[in-house]
Structure 1
Amino acid sequence: MRFKNAEPGEWVIQGLSYQLDEEYCTLRWNWPPELQAVYIHRMLDDGFHSLAGSPHLEPGNLRLYTRDEYKANNGYRDRLDGIGQITYTVYALSSDSEEMTLITQPDAANRIQFSTGKALLVYSIREKSRWLQPYKTIEIQVTAEVPVPKEVLCYVKKTGAFPLNKEDGILYPFVTDFVAGRNVLPAIEVGKNDYIRLFFTDGKKYGQLYKLVYK
């Protein structure tokens, strides 16, 4: 199986759309005349995987779907079994090659991306201090609905007040991934007048996948 860019007159996919129905998604698109089958690729970005990748996909990641199946099911129906950004790409088969060749489209009209929902991340911070000691101990707990890569979150320390964002103090990365469920992080020692909050390392990117709540 190989890929090639669409050329003038080549079969291409247009009008790709989706419809959500609880835990299922239905894709629909306009079939070029005489095209009898397509290959469909699905990729879920749950924070551990990148959506940006080579079009040279392994055959096992692609599903053959015929025009007859499409008519019988009024589209392509797929179960959504994860939380994050999902991307579907529908590839037309080349009409002028005996070898299995899929058409990539520079206009990306054969690709659609949407969110399947945000996973909830709830964190709490407990402080323990001793009388007349210049330091206090901080314990951070994170409860996650799904596994979360360590790169998603950071904590920020600020003296005199709680930090308002990740630039408002000294930023520290986490060194291990978060498992689904309760995560109790190793205690850290800070100054008695230091305060800590958690933030996304990239709010625009990870804010589409997770909802961060302080409790």
Structure 2
Amino acid sequence: MRVIDAAPSTPLIREMNYSLDEDWICLRWRWPEGVQAVYIHKGPADGSLDTLPAETDLKLYTREEYKANGGYRERLDGIGRVLYTVYGCLTADDELQLIHQQDGQNRLVMNAGRARIYYSVTQKNSLFRKYKSIQIQVMTETALGKDVLCYVKKQGGYPAGKEDGTVYHFLQDFAPGRNVLPVIEVGKGDYVRLFFTDGRKYGQLYELIAE
């Protein structure tokens, strides 16, 4: 397979769109004249748009298959933002030529879904001590880096947000399943709640749920 850069006269993929049916996605686009097959690539949305994927990561899909299936359909799995790219193909001297389209109209970004993170904060008071014991448990559907979550301590009531108290960061990553963290001690009037360290970033990937 040979890669060619799109020129003003090159037939290009246009009008990318999609529809969802439970956990299935259907991609559709406008086929240009002269293009009978495309290569489809699926990858993370934060990847470089200028770097072409390896040939082994591309799926060949013909115009006939598209018509028969009413688009390109596949099961949507994983989490986070996903980038689909459809590369038009031309045939010259019995060789497929992949069109490197640089206007972005052959790309589509969507959210593949959010993994759920459940957490609980239990506390134990002692009548004769100035402090109370806090234990945090985190149950996650997928592995998490230690920088995804933080806990916030506030005196007199539960914090309403990450900025509503003192922020503490975790020291270890979270494994899939239930993670029981070491007991910590706080003042009797202190309350603890978990938050994303970056709500805008991680809120697209995960759903944080208090048990």
Q: Same fold per TM (> 0.5)?
A: yes
TM-score (norm 2): 0.85
- Gap regions ≥5 residues in structure 2: none
Give the stretch that moved more between structures: 188-197 or 72-81: 188-197
Please report how far the alpha carbon of residue 4 of structure 1 lies from its aligned counterpart in structure 2 after TM superposition: 6.1
- 1:102 paired residue among 99, 102, 110: 99
Q: 1:206 to 1:2 in 2, by over 3 A?
A: farther
Q: What one-letter code is carried by the residue in structure 2 that aligns with 1:122?
A: Y
Q: Percent identity?
A: 50
Please report how far the alpha carbon of residue 179 of structure 1 lies from its aligned counterpart in structure 2 after TM superposition: 2.9
Post-superposition CA distance 1:141-184 (Å, at most 9, x none): 11223333333211112233322111222222223332332221
Query: Which residue number corresponds to residue 51 of structure 1?
Result: 46
Please report how far the alpha carbon of residue 188 of structure 1 lies from its aligned counterpart in structure 2 after TM superposition: 1.9
Query: Which residue number corresponds to residue 30 of structure 1?
Result: 30
Please report how far the alpha carbon of residue 41 of structure 1 lies from its aligned counterpart in structure 2 after TM superposition: 0.9
User: 2-side partners of 1:157 and 1:6: how far apart?
Assistant: 56
Query: Which residue number corresponds to residue 65 of structure 2?
Result: 69
Give the stretch that moved more between structures: 126-135 or 15-24: 126-135
Q: Kindly indicate whether residue 112 of structure 2 is the aligned counterpart of residue 89 of structure 1.
A: no
Please report how far the alpha carbon of residue 95 of structure 1 lies from its aligned counterpart in structure 2 after TM superposition: 7.2
Contact 1:119 1:145 in 2 (8 A): yes
User: 2-side partners of 1:79 and 1:167: how far apart?
Assistant: 39
Q: How many corresponding residue pairs?
A: 209
Q: What one-letter code is carried by the residue in structure 2 that aligns with 1:102?
A: I
User: 1-side partners of 2:2 and 2:120: how far apart?
Assistant: 50
User: 1-side partners of 2:188 and 2:5: how far apart?
Assistant: 61
Aligned 1:63-212 pairs, distance under 5 A? 63-93=59-89, 100-106=97-103, 108-212=104-208
User: 1-side partners of 2:5 and 2:123: how far apart?
Assistant: 58
Question: Any idea what SS the aligned residue of 1:151 has?
Answer: coil
Contact 1:11 1:93 in 2 (8 A): no
CA RMSD of aligned residues (A): 2.5
